[in-house]
Amino acid sequence: MTNDNNLIQDKELCRFITCGSVDDGKSTLIGRMLYDSQMILEDQLNSLIKDSKKIGTQNGNIDFALLVDGLESEREQGITIDVAYRYFNTIKRKFIIADTPGHEQYTKNMATGASNADIAIILIDARKGVLPQTKRHSYIASLLGIKQFIIAVNKMDLVNYSQEIFKKIYNDYQLIIPYLNNDININFIPISALNGDNIVTSSSNIQWYSGDTLFKLLDNLEIYKTNNDEFLFPVQYVNRPNLNFRGFCGNIISGNINEGDNVVILPSNKKTTIKKIIKANTMLEEKQARCFDSVTVVTGDEIDISRGNLIASLNNKAIITNNFQATIIWMSDKKLELDQRYYIKIANNITTIQVQEILYKKDINTLQNIQNDQIMLNDIALCQINLEEKLALKIYRENKFLGSFILIDKYTNQTIAAGMIEKILNTTNNCKQYTKAEIELNKYIRTQYPEWECKEI
């Protein structure tokens, strides 16, 4: 067993999402993949067979969607509401799957599942073709930096495995591609999730298709990683257990660090050195730490460093500003108010913002930019945003952690929007300038509400 666990740990990790419109077969596909990869325990299989006969939608045959649709309301309606995560392994990789909902009202759940994905499987019902949700999910997945798309035309068995229908959907989807990021790699595959066509093995029913199966694509598509030599370390917690120790805890989001390296603290621009590196999982001192490690660092000088500050290498390219343009996905039933102030959470910082201007909104049906002075639930728009204080930021495509954020309603503490920084502008004085005392008071008040430590997208 130990050897098997070691083999799994050594495999490359791949995260992917399944998305698309309602009833395109996302949950069925994941259930089929878990079944075909033999990741279902015997008691789970027996329960699945029993549930399929009782509440399934396949006339008593195995309903693979029931493996994923765990909420009672999901099973009653035959839809996915929440984001469901599942796991399986192949010879080459270990996978984390996020099954995201298709309904427009759950767009925020889809964005949550897509935020950390390497691959997006976008399902299209062969009977219905490209729908508005197909466009919406493709556009959001592109915005969130997913570079590998698999367009899976599902339910081919219900259209007699027609090559002509597959070609029409292929041609219709080509009209979407110009509106997506130009560095996306797209593969098209005809499948039947229910019957297992082209999932693990090539289907004899679709002999006109000569490409890879879905499993082979997932195993071999390149996983793009950001290679960056600049060290970036947002401080999450200042650890001061006694007078003799003061360490700064957090996760390294870019680059590596060595004991003795020179660093700069942003936004203060004060310089110091790394005196100690302590790994969180071992509590032992190390000489080096790498990207994504959770560590505590001790600096060589006693300087003012607090939660939200950025410890960075001297060659970092973060920009200190309070003014930027960002694409936001609005997640609230209440519309955006331009004269309203909201809280913004970027990395480990929470501060106040004001949306100065809606530059344009995206029409999902045409994917054209339209002028609009309102943002409502599920709208996607490019806005200009001003912060109450300057922060060290990067654009989203350079660093997801310093380039993404959520907006929080000041009165309800609800997450109302998610955003990606597209362009950093010069520092502006258009936003109300707070005194240092007002800023510190705001910070003090926010520390009294731990529920504001909202989930990252």
* Residue-wise pLDDT tens digits, 141-170: 998 889 999 999 999 999 999 999 999 999
Question: What's the whole-number mean pLDDT along residues 412-439?
Answer: 73
**Mean of per-residue pLDDT scores for the chain:** 82
Residues 170-228 have pLDDT tens digits of 999 999 999 998 789 999 999 998 888 999 889 999 999 999 999 999 999 998 876 57
- Categorize the per-residue pLDDT at 437 as very low, low, confident or very high, splitting at 50, 70 and 90: low
% of the chain exceeding 90 in pLDDT: 50
Domain ranges of the chain: 2-220, 232-313, 319-452
61, 52 Cβ separation under 8 angstroms: yes
255, 230 Cβ separation under 8 angstroms: yes
- Reply yes or no on whether the pLDDT at 283 is more than 90: no
What 367-370 contacts at long range (C-beta under 8 Å, 24+ apart), as own/partner pairs, is 367/135, 367/139, 367/176, 367/179
Measured CA angle at 51 (ends 203, 75), to 5 deg: 90
Residues 109-136 have pLDDT tens digits of 677 767 788 999 999 999 999 998 899 8
pLDDT (0 to 100) of residue 431: 46
Torsion of CA 385, 387, 390, 395, to 10 degrees: -30
Domain 232-313 has CATH 2.40.30.10: yes
Q: Do domains 232-313 and 319-452 have the same CATH topology?
A: yes
Residue 332 vs residue 53, higher pLDDT: 332
Report the CATH fold assignment for 2-220.
Rossmann fold (3.40.50)
- Reply yes or no on whether the pLDDT at 263 is more than 50: yes
288-289 and 285-286 strand pairing = unpaired
- Categorize the per-residue pLDDT at 289 as very low, low, confident or very high, splitting at 50, 70 and 90: very high
- Reply yes or no on whether the pLDDT at 49 is more than 70: no
Classify domain 319-452 by CATH architecture.
Answer: Beta Barrel (2.40)
Q: CA nearest 308: which of 116, 454, 443?
A: 443
